[in-house]
Structure 1
Amino acid sequence: MFGFGRSKDAVGLDIGASSVKAVQLKRGRGVHELVRLGIVPLHPETIVDGVIMDSGTVISAIQQIFAENQIKTKDVVVAVSGHSVIVKKIRVTKMKPEELEEAIPFEAEQYVPYAIEDVNLDFQILENADPNAGELDVLLVAVKKDIVNDYLSIISTAGLNAVVVDVDAFALENAFELAYETERDQVVGLVNLGAAVMNINILQGGFSEFTRDSPLGGTRYTESIQKM
């Protein structure tokens, strides 16, 4: 979950503020080939601040995309973003992975502004420059359960199966890493400008150093231009 696992044959499903999009790729010899692509626009108030306000419209849009583009695969990968998603780089005492898994809920209480029982947690141990250090750098991810459950419910009602729930910033990172190779110490800034949210992910040496979801999406720029 949250981008640390990947599925080989799933369809990428993007439930955005202005449209629902689906893409299916086929892996070839060192390349990925586009097999299917579908887009269905949504009314402006269908999704607000990452919260799905009109689930029926979203379900219909998903079903329309799969039917019109003859997408047979039922497994999908979906991503979430917004204020309900918390991504934080933290430092903890060095311990075994199984011990860290038990400790993460207690560590997360310092950084997550929601009750721990109300969020889904995931983490990834980052590379440490000093192998003898007594601490670990960990990327902590927390997403409110009600947001995840809303997406899972809609996908299930549409007749599909969500095999991975990712974070938009990490999905952007995965796409970049499939297409480009970087040097160990190279710093790369990734920006995804959506209709309502701009996702930012700063990478160094292949690891995420900073992520941020900004409400400055394309719609706001369009509205500003219209007022000029």
Structure 2
Amino acid sequence: MSKNIFTSIEITDSGIRLFQTQTVRHKQVLCACDVKPLQNFTDGEIVEKLSEITALRDIQPQRLSVVIPRRLTILKQMRLPSQNEPEIRKMLDLQLVSQIPYALEDVIYDFVVVDREPPGYVRVLAAIVHRQDVSEKFLKLCKEAGLQPERFVLSSLGIVHWLNYQQGKMPVPVNQPILVLNIDVDHTEICFCHNQNLLFSRSVNYGARDLATENMRGLTHQVELSLKNYLKDNMGPGVKRMIVLSTLPEASALKGQLEEMSLVPVDFYSPLNNILCQKNMSLGALKSQPGVSIAAGMGFLLSDGKKALNLIPQEVHNIKQSKRRQTQWAQFALLFVLTVGLALSVPGVEFLRKVNYLNSLKKKSEVAKPELERIKKRMSLVKVVQEELGKRVVVADLIQELYRLAPPELSFQSLYLNERGQFVIHGYAGTSASVHNFQQNLVKSVLFKAVNLEFATKRKIFNMEVTDFQITSEVNAEHD
């Protein structure tokens, strides 16, 4: 199982999209992209498509985000006199009561700080969803499909993250106020962005299916109304540029209408611009659904998602906090037991150290014992060999002694031991006197004993008269 796969699932009216990225050399690379169309947007159909799109995929709960459409949320930008997060949340509790059509206990909300002002004020953007109809419903659908998401995120923030990822890759100034139109199949999100933050957004019921019809004028009109409300409510600085995101070339026809209406430059980009894809990865599912935009779903995977607010039900946070507390208590208990045990064992530490040292010596002794036995055996063998060799006469010594005792005119023909263990010397001499002298020398030698002349016979060899002799003796093994 890979440890760095991040998953984003976007649930829209037209279908369910799954995106997965993997970290490669500190960059996010798209490794999976799938789209399952929805016909009726019923709970049963959503669960079925979720199960299909996630089957056999490596989805890690701690890295799974579910994107909630902008049309299901309420956005409120507020200016509050505090920069402390707990205080800001308390102020929002008071402010939202009068600004949303639901009781506070019936909603789930979160916020992001979009600007900090010098006098100690902050501008925050709060996203609110109905607890039962949106957040808990989405969580129930995910659980029925076998999913455990880490967070529910707002689609508009995904578009901002997509834009932030493109900084340096597109000719768009970083600090310039920008209006982004993300044109999807059935809806278009109008996002006001500045300094890498979302200032406000709207979702309008015009999409890719309306680009080739008269409804395109209606989309331009909605953008105009959004611009007027944005400036009227003083949500941020004036827009200096517009960006249209769509996979369809027909969207470029909006350029003239929008520039004429807003008097600011309009750029057209595909949501797939500058997206790194894994080699041989198929985009067939995306291409088979004309008009699908991946900007919202992919944005969270391409940029730093820590700034993204989380609209998941509080019960998920409570369960995680409970597990975290249980883990912390277990760790504390373990540390306490170890501390007490260590304190009680201090008097015996020195004793244990000596016992361990003795045990280590015993172990080393046991390890060295076989080697010691082998050394003893080798020493015994050497001693035996020395004793045996000390009692024996080496053949080289015998030959050297024979040649020392033999007269010059005497030569040897053979030297051997007979069946009785006698050392037999057979040879020739020029005269019988030489044989006699040799015999006497053998008698006097300490290496020989029981010297006996077997025969000495005169013979002619090549017309030369020699004395053929044979002497037997015993080797004196106990000589000094």
| TM-score interval (norm. to shorter) | 0.7 to 0.9
Give 3-state SS (helix, strand or coil) of 2:44's partner: helix
Code of the residue aligned with 2:177 in structure 1: it is V
Residues 119-145 of structure 1, C-alpha deviations (whole Å, 9 max, x = no match): 1111122322x42x1422111111111
Give 3-state SS (helix, strand or coil) of 2:90's partner: helix
Q: Relative to 1, partners in 2 of residues 1:62 and 1:96: Cα closer, same or farther, differing over 3 Å?
A: same
Give the Cα separation in 2 of the matches to 1:160 and 1:174: 24
Code of the residue aligned with 2:130 in structure 1: it is K
Give the Cα separation in 2 of the matches to 1:65 and 1:224: 35
Deviation, structure 1 residue 178: 2.5
1:34 aligned partner:
30
Equivalent of 1:157 in 144, 164, 183: 144
Residues 79-110 of structure 1, C-alpha deviations (whole Å, 9 max, x = no match): 22244311121111225222222222111123
Give 3-state SS (helix, strand or coil) of 1:161's partner: coil
Matched, 1:136 2:122: yes
1:5 aligned partner:
none
Give the Cα separation in 2 of the matches to 1:139 and 1:103: 13
Report if aligned partners of 2:75, 2:128 keep a CA contact under 8 Å in 1.
yes
Q: How does 1:69-88 map to 2 (within 5 A)?
A: 70-75=56-61, 76-88=64-76
2:199 aligned partner:
209
Report if aligned partners of 2:113, 2:122 keep a CA contact under 8 Å in 1.
yes
* TM-score calculated relative to the size of structure 1: 0.80
Code of the residue aligned with 1:144 in structure 2: it is H
Matched, 1:116 2:107: no
Give the Cα separation in 1 of the matches to 2:174 and 2:97: 32
Give the Cα separation in 2 of the matches to 1:224 and 1:184: 34
Code of the residue aligned with 2:124 in structure 1: it is V
Runs of 4+ in structure 1 deviating by more than 4 angstroms, as ranges, are: 181-184, 220-225
Give the Cα separation in 2 of the matches to 1:30 and 1:10: 13
Equivalent of 1:13 in 9, 15, 24: 9
Deviation, structure 1 residue 209: 2.0
Q: How does 1:171-210 map to 2 (within 5 A)?
A: 171-181=158-168, 183=173, 185-210=175-200
- Which one has a larger percent strand, Structure 1 or Structure 2? 1
> What is the identity percentage for the equivalent residue pairs of Structure 1 and Structure 2?
19
Residues 24-83 of structure 1, C-alpha deviations (whole Å, 9 max, x = no match): 10122242211111111111x22xxxxxxx11111111111122xx31214221122244
Give the Cα separation in 1 of the matches to 2:90 and 2:69: 26
Report if aligned partners of 2:11, 2:69 keep a CA contact under 8 Å in 1.
no
Equivalent of 1:103 in 91, 94, 97: 91
Deviation, structure 1 residue 169: 0.5
1:51 aligned partner:
none
Give the Cα separation in 1 of the matches to 2:138 and 2:212: 28
Unaligned runs of 5+ in 2: 216-480
2:77 aligned partner:
89
Code of the residue aligned with 2:24 in structure 1: it is G
Report if aligned partners of 2:160, 2:197 keep a CA contact under 8 Å in 1.
no
Q: Relative to 1, partners in 2 of residues 1:98 and 1:25: Cα closer, same or farther, differing over 3 Å?
A: same
* TM-score calculated relative to the size of structure 2: 0.40
Give the Cα separation in 1 of the matches to 2:193 and 2:8: 22
- Which one has a larger percent helix, Structure 1 or Structure 2? 2
Code of the residue aligned with 1:96 in structure 2: it is N
Choose 1 or 2 for highest CA Rg: 2
Code of the residue aligned with 1:160 in structure 2: it is L
1:4 aligned partner:
none
Give the Cα separation in 1 of the matches to 2:136 and 2:187: 21
Matched, 1:126 2:118: no
> Aligned pair count?
206
2:366 aligned partner:
none
Give 3-state SS (helix, strand or coil) of 1:162's partner: coil
2:449 aligned partner:
none
Deviation, structure 1 residue 208: 1.6
Deviation, structure 1 residue 113: 2.4
Q: Relative to 1, partners in 2 of residues 1:170 and 1:95: Cα closer, same or farther, differing over 3 Å?
A: closer
Unaligned runs of 5+ in 1: 1-7, 47-53
